[in-house]
Structure 1
Amino acid sequence: MSVITSKSRLSHPTAILRHAVLLFSGAFILVPFVWMVSLSIKPPSEIFRASFSFWPVHFYGIENYTRALTEAPLPRYMGNGFIVCAGILALQIIVCAPCAYVLAKLRFPGRDLLFGMVLIGLLLPHQVLSLPLFILGYQLGILNTYAALIFPYVVSPFGIFLFRQFFMTIPDDVVHAARLDGLSELAIVWKIMLPMALPALIAFSIFSVVGHWNDLFWPLIAVRDQSLMPPPLGIMVFKNEEAGNDYGPLMAASTLVVLPLVIAFLATQKWFVEGMTGGAVK
């Protein structure tokens, strides 16, 4: 009994310290977002004040958000972002799920080598491939189109890795039973494996949408037409090298761009955590 009491006494300060560190880290991460929202409702005269206050003396949010929606076609930019992210995600699932199934459940020579190549793909930053992708896009004649924003991301090493790890946790007996019922390998992927891997699918969807919604580097290279610009590239309209940055509307536009991601994550965070931890048990 005394041993249990001593352990609880030792664990209590540890738990307090752990929660304090988590709270501090969370608050530190939220500081830029709080600053962004605060600047989006301030007039220009209060943005550059030495002292910081979240709520402005003169509320200027209506003017900033109105300018963010009218001075640039922000709804069009966000629509482009939805089209590009949805196209990328759909094609990634179509490609990555069967590849992951092959690496997880089928036995053939060279399987480990292929999986090693997937891991190498995880190590390579996408910027390394930007020049050959640009040349390939030019030769295919797809630059300055939606296809130029979508096709470089169709094959996702991270997606293959995540699905493969989750598929490994599904018993082989499930696959054998599906084969006995007459299902083909592709039918097993779409009717058995992917529905069972729904948490991994949601987790990957969040990573994919957030990553490509916020992508600036490749769209800056691939498109020039303003009607095709995704949100991060579109809000650069508020950047003026001669007159200076218009921070109020810029922060308002940034808030509107980030808001759908925040809502989507809050709505799916339960499955996101389950999907990220589910493949770690094997």
Structure 2
Amino acid sequence: MTSPLQPSLAWRIFRHVVLMSGAVVFLLPFVWMVSTSLKPADEIFTEGLRLLPERWAAIENYRRALTDVPLLRYLWNGVLVCAAILVLQIVVALPAAYCFAKLKFAGKRLSWTLVMLSLMIPFQATAIPLYIMLYHAGLLDTLAALVIPFIASAFGIFLLRQFIAGVPDDLIHAARLDGMREFELVWRVIMPAAKPALIAFSIFSVVWHWNDYFWPLLVINTMDLATPPLGTMFFKNEEAGTDFGPLMAGTVIITLPLLVFFLIAQKRFIEGVTLSGVKG
């Protein structure tokens, strides 16, 4: 007999069917991308639904993806940009989040309101002023132009503040009694305690900036400075054209690091998002 507090078998089956259906919808483009990367050009637009090719062209497609354009260079640019952005965001966001969560200072409420308001402003609304600023600074068409606009992250401050608010005050008082100053306390006490939230934010940040196409398209003109999504455009325009096999092979290679990164940090990511969401 089913407990009144437990869902019925029919409801559980229905729930799982809905979830699995949603998963299929989201995964289908990725499955099709991998399938296309394995096919020769004459099989990509044939009639009928066929995931596996009749004649395998995987080696040729992936070889062209790696050799026709400097794809490894694009991947390295992506790693440099994402790593630089993430490190600088943490350097700014962690002390700011600690101040909002644990300290009292004049203008705290107003400052927090401004942080929340900045979350509502789309990046595209500030793109032109940022572009003009970088132009006058002589930083257009450099990797620095891809990093500087994202150093301060309102979302990072918000996420970390929610987590740090749940860190026991006794831990902070004990660190102060041991002679730690506030800045030292942030990096030696708060940072290890907030590791789940930091990992969750790291995934959000890396995925966002690894996949960013809009901003690199505005500020980068040199092919060797392209990030992975922009490099895909260069590859399509100059090498692949309408040959979607090598193009999809390059896209698979670009997507793979994100998948590996998320699978490695999946447990901490879920923990960080969950705990940050329940802190006041």
TM-score interval (norm. to shorter) = over 0.9
TM-score by length of 1: 0.95
Worse overlay, 235-244 or 216-225:
235-244
Q: Is the 8 A contact 1:238 1:249 kept in 2?
A: no
5+ residue gaps, structure 2, are: none
- 1:234 and 2:258 equivalent? no
Secondary structure at the residue paired with 1:7?
coil
> 1:220, CA displacement in angstroms?
0.6
Q: Which residue of 2 aligns with 1:81?
A: 78
Distance 1:10 1:95 in 2: 45
Q: Is the 8 A contact 2:74 2:226 kept in 1?
A: yes
- With over 3 angstroms needed to count, the CA separation of the structure-2 counterparts of 1:242 and 1:58, relative to structure 1, is closer
Worse overlay, 12-21 or 79-88:
12-21
Secondary structure at the residue paired with 1:199?
helix
Q: Which residue of 2 aligns with 1:144?
A: 141
Q: Which residue of 1 aligns with 2:16?
A: 19
Query: Residue 164 of structure 1 is aligned with which of 161, 166, 174?
Result: 161
Distance 1:201 1:48 in 2: 44
Q: Is the 8 A contact 2:240 2:247 kept in 1?
A: no
| Identical residues among aligned pairs (%) | 52
> 1:146, CA displacement in angstroms?
1.0
- With over 3 angstroms needed to count, the CA separation of the structure-2 counterparts of 1:50 and 1:174, relative to structure 1, is same
- With over 3 angstroms needed to count, the CA separation of the structure-2 counterparts of 1:25 and 1:277, relative to structure 1, is same
Secondary structure at the residue paired with 1:5?
coil
Q: Is the 8 A contact 1:43 1:248 kept in 2?
A: yes
- 1:93 and 2:81 equivalent? no
Distance 2:217 2:227 in 1: 10
5+ residue gaps, structure 1, are: none
CA RMSD of aligned residues (A): 1.6
Structure 1 letter corresponding to 2:54: V
TM-score by length of 2: 0.96
Query: Residue 206 of structure 2 is aligned with which of 190, 206, 209?
Result: 209
- 1:38 and 2:35 equivalent? yes
1:215-262 CA deviation, whole Å, 9 max, x = no partner?
010001111111110000011123249994221111000000000000
Query: Residue 187 of structure 1 is aligned with which of 179, 184, 187?
Result: 184
Secondary structure at the residue paired with 1:271?
helix
> 1:281, CA displacement in angstroms?
2.1
Q: Which residue of 2 aligns with 1:174?
A: 171
Structure 2 letter corresponding to 1:235: T
Worse overlay, 238-247 or 41-50:
238-247
Worse overlay, 250-259 or 235-244:
235-244
How many equivalent residue pairs?
279
> 1:49, CA displacement in angstroms?
1.1
Distance 2:82 2:3 in 1: 53
Structure 1 letter corresponding to 2:212: D
